[in-house]
Each structure stands twice: as structure tokens, then as C-alpha cells.
Amino acid sequence: MRADSDISPQNHRHKLSAELARLGALCNAQSVTLRSLTKAMGTRGHALLSLFLGFPFLFPIPLPGLSIFFGACIVVTGALMAMGKPLWFPKSWMERPLSANLLRKVFQGGEKMMLRLEVWIKPRGAFIHAYPWIKALHGSMFAVCGALLALPLPPGTNFPPALAILLLAIGSLEEDGAFLFLGYIAFIINIALFTVLPFLGIQGIRALWG
């Protein structure tokens, strides 16, 4: 089922902190759905959705069951971005209930983070949207990071791919080459880190994050 973002009245550009504040205000009921979140996000596209789905994993808040679902959503979003396709999710994904209380805490924390980061964000990469292959590259990187988020690994392993998503999304959305460069570095570190993790075993991973 097609995401409802293209019919939302919120189709003009906002600061990312304002986007997060609006999403936090949306979480007043006991539960929200992916449909209601995508509708509230407006039309800023795949990178914005990847950013918001990755945000929960930047904070030390227990998120039982969300990493697999949100990670899978980011994989689909990134793959569609890489192929130049519009956002689309199965109806069962769109209607899945999510904890509004938990997401409200996440969005409030994300708003505070973005208010600090926005001091450093500025357009310095008009080339970002000049070539289709750059958008395809970023979509592929989002998909890989989403797959890493979805892995059933011990707590703490979600932060590195979530950080890469944050940096890449900010760089893409705000055309900020500096944040994109940091995102590329974070992505490479993730690839190296998750290549090594299988050789450490569960005890080794826990010791690494201990």
C-alpha cells in the first residue's frame, strides 16, 4: 500500500527539529501507526522517513521488537530510494500499532538533539541532487544500515547504524556535504564493525559493549 505522505498538507520545508516536535505532538493516543507517522511527515521523502525510523535507536531506551520492524522499514525505504520508486509498504505494516508513549519520548529527545545540531547544519553540497547515482548510493546505504538495525544482536549494536542513518539523512535533506562526509565515514565503520562481530561471538559482543 502506498504511503499517505503525498496527500499530506505538510508539504513545505521545515527544520528537522520542528518535524520531530510535530510528530511528538501526534503521539497523544495509546498507540500510533506507521500510516499516521508517514502522513504527518509531509513529502520530504525517503531520507526523512529513514531518519525518523532510525532516531529511536540513538537513545538508551528499551525498544522491544521495534528494531526488527523499523530496520525492515528502512531497508524497504532505502531500496525504493535507490531504485527511484515512491514510498510503499504492505497494508499490515502501515496499520501495525506502535507505542505512542515510547515514540513521544523518542521524538522529544530527537527534537532536543536536532536543536543542537541545527546550529552546524547549512547548505554546502548542491551537487548532492545533481546526479541520480548519488541518490541511489544513499538509498543503498540506508538499506544496508536498516538491515544492520534489524539484526537480532545484543543492546548497543543498534547505535552505530542509527548514527550513520542520522548523518546521511541530515546531509541528504539539508544538502550538507560535511554531514554527508561524516555519514560516509560512519557507514564504512559500520561495515568494518559488523564484519568483525561474527568472529567475536555473543560473549565477545557483550564484552565489547560492556
Number of domains in the chain: 1
Q: Which residue ranges of the chain lie beneath pLDDT 70?
A: 1-14, 42-44, 62, 64, 127-129, 155, 200-210
Residue 4: the pLDDT is 42
Which of 146, 108, 130, 121 shows the shortest CA–CA distance to 13?
121
Residue 12: the pLDDT is 40
Who's near 57: CB < 8 A, 6+ residues apart? 63, 67, 70, 149, 158, 159, 161, 162
Domain range for 124 is 4-209
The one-letter amino acid at 158: N
Dihedral Cα 120, 8, 146, 70, nearest 10 deg: 120
CA-to-CA distance for 167 and 135, rounded, in angstroms? 15
Give tens-digit pLDDT for 173-202: 888 989 999 999 999 999 998 988 777 665
The one-letter amino acid at 167: L
What are 98's three cell numbers? 506502535
